[in-house]
């Protein structure tokens, strides 16, 4: 199988990640629940992962790195824990349902929303942020990279606007964390939400949020923390304030191994390789008559090429690629309903090829040969 579904989850994971998870399952106690060696091993590893992530994203301190099961949980914590009835939020058409659905839920309790329109290439007009600004605007919530097109948003520019207008800036980095530079402080990011199993190369079931100093998020959950047992409510201090229940210590150990792996290779090198694979594939498919390719390839973008051929339903093309040629891609709707509407792909869906560090030039060449063969 040639795997081009890395935007859904990267696969295979580096060997060091799987080995570390297995080792942790055979040696970890429950972090923060005891002082015996096995529990402390888990606590030390989890803290080291917080430190690594804080350094990677220039988060002010390791304690401000909160672990969750995925970026959806992180985004729910941030969105539901920061917004109140009467607040106005600016977001974009590029967003995933992990942002849209919490916002739609909050609309019912009196939160106002505005979504900046995307054009046919999947780009927004940055001047729309100031056009949509209102007296009660509290936050900007946006993705760093679209999971459908791979288009990137300029976090530095949006962050400056947020800071100039006293707004919270919540970022969904699900498609970019670990590969594209993200600096919470220089980009004025209030909350950065990430998943561990995509570009960070870690296990599924890991993710989190990095919180800027002074940003107070109401907890989504409360429960066991291993500390302040006789307090009736969730403790005030991060990360415990937003972490109720046993953490995924085994997964976080794997995530730490993945972070070390990325550090060793250098995320610039990962980005360069993935971009080269994407570019070669793009240059090949765009020449196929009847092929429609979505997204803006004039600028740097996440390693995604999304396409449709003629009016063929995206699922049919993806099924043929998988069953007859062993090429794994994603088709249909990609949990980004507003962007599908903007791109005009609501009915047809779209076929997404997403590239990872483990992919090769030969695999790209094979996929191009197959598409040239069947798309005619």
Partner 1 sequence: MREKELRFVVTFHTTAEAMATEKLCREKAIEGKLISAPRSLSADCGIAWSSPAELSGRVKEAVEAAGIETQGFHEVMV
Distance, C-alpha 106 to centroid of its chain:
21
Out of 41, 87, 320, 363, the residue judged to bind partner 1 by CB under 8 A: 320
Nearest distance, CB of residue 140 and partner 1, angstroms: 31
Nearer to partner 1, 160 or 292 (CB): 292
Nearest distance, CB of residue 118 and partner 1, angstroms: 22
Token reading at 176: 């970019």
**DSSP category for residue 117:** P
The residue assigned the tokens 């799987």 is 18
Out of 16, 313, 368, 370, the residue judged to bind partner 1 by CB under 8 A: 313
- 8 Å CB contact between 175 and 274: no
Nearest distance, CB of residue 1 and partner 1, angstroms: 16
Nearer to partner 1, 368 or 374 (CB): 374
Binding to partner 1 by CB under 8 A, coded x per residue (else -) over 63-92, reads: ------------------------------
Stretch that binds partner 1, among 46-54, 92-100, 228-236, 311-319 (CB under 8 A): 311-319
Separation of alpha carbons 187 and 160, rounded Å: 7
Nearer to partner 1, 299 or 376 (CB): 376
Out of 125, 236, 319, 341, the residue judged to bind partner 1 by CB under 8 A: 319
Out of 170, 184, 318, 350, the residue judged to bind partner 1 by CB under 8 A: 318
Nearest distance, CB of residue 149 and partner 1, angstroms: 19
Stretch that binds partner 1, among 2-10, 80-88, 176-184, 310-318 (CB under 8 A): 310-318
| 324-328 LR contacts (CB < 8 Å, sep 24+) | 325/2, 325/366, 325/370, 326/1, 326/2, 327/1, 327/2, 327/4, 327/366, 327/367, 327/370, 328/1, 328/2, 328/3, 328/4, 328/5
Separation of alpha carbons 257 and 52, rounded Å: 10
Nearest distance, CB of residue 145 and partner 1, angstroms: 22
Nearest distance, CB of residue 245 and partner 1, angstroms: 24
Out of 316, 341, 361, 369, the residue judged to bind partner 1 by CB under 8 A: 316
Nearer to partner 1, 238 or 371 (CB): 371
Nearest distance, CB of residue 329 and partner 1, angstroms: 11
- 8 Å CB contact between 239 and 63: yes
Stretch that binds partner 1, among 56-64, 190-198, 261-269, 312-320 (CB under 8 A): 312-320
Separation of alpha carbons 191 and 83, rounded Å: 13
Distance, C-alpha 26 to centroid of its chain:
30
Token reading at 277: 């694979």
Return the C-alpha torsion angle 290, 294, 297, 303, nearest 10: -110
Looking at residues 324 to 363 of the shown chain, list those that interact with partner 1 (rule: CB under 8 A).
324, 331-333, 347-349
CB atoms within 10 A of CB 80: 18
Binding site for partner 1 (CB under 8 A): 312-320, 324, 331-333, 347-349, 374-375
């Amino acid at each position: 199988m040639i795997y081009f579904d890395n935007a859904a989850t990267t696969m295979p994971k580096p060997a060091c990640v799987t080995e570390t998870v297995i080792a942790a399952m055979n040696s970890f106690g429950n972090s923060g629940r005891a002082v015996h060696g096995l529990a402390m091993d888990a606590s030390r590893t989890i803290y080291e992962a917080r430190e690594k992530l804080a350094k990677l994203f220039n988060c002010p301190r390791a304690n401000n790195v909160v672990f969750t099961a995925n970026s959806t949980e992180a985004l729910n914590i941030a969105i539901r824990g920061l917004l109140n009835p009467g607040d106005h939020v600016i977001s974009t058409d590029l967003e995933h349902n992990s942002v849209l659905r919490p916002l739609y839920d909050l609309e019912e309790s009196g939160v106002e929303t505005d979504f900046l329109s995307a054009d046919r290439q999947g780009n927004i007009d940055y001047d729309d942020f100031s056009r949509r600004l209102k007296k009660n605007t509290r936050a900007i919530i946006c993705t760093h990279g679209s999971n459908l097109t791979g288009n990137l948003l300029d976090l530095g520019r949006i962050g400056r606007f947020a800071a100039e207008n006293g707004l919270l800036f919540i970022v969904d980095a699900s498609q970019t964390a670990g590969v594209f530079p993200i600096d919470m402080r220089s980009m004025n990011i209030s909350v950065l939400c990430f998943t561990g199993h995509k570009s960070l190369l870690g296990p599924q079931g890991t993710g989190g949020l990095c919180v800027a100093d002074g940003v107070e998020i109401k907890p989504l959950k409360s429960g066991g923390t291993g500390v302040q047992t006789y307090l009736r409510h969730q403790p005030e201090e991060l990360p415990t304030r937003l972490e109720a229940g046993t953490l995924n210590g085994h997964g976080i150990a794997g995530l730490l191994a993945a972070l070390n792996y990325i550090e060793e290779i250098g995320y610039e090198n990962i980005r360069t390789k993935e971009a080269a694979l994407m570019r070669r594939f793009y240059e090949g498919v765009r020449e196929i008559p009847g092929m429609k390719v979505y997204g803006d390839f004039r600028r740097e973008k996440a390693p995604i090429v999304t396409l449709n051929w003629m009016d063929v339903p995206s699922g049919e093309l993806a099924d043929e690629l998988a069953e007859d040629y062993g090429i794994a891609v994603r088709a249909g709707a990609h949990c980004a309903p507003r962007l599908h509407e903007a791109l005009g792909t609501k009915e047809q869906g779209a076929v997404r090829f997403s590239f990872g560090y483990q992919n090769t030039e030969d695999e790209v060449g094979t996929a191009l040969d197959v598409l040239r063969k069947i798309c005619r």
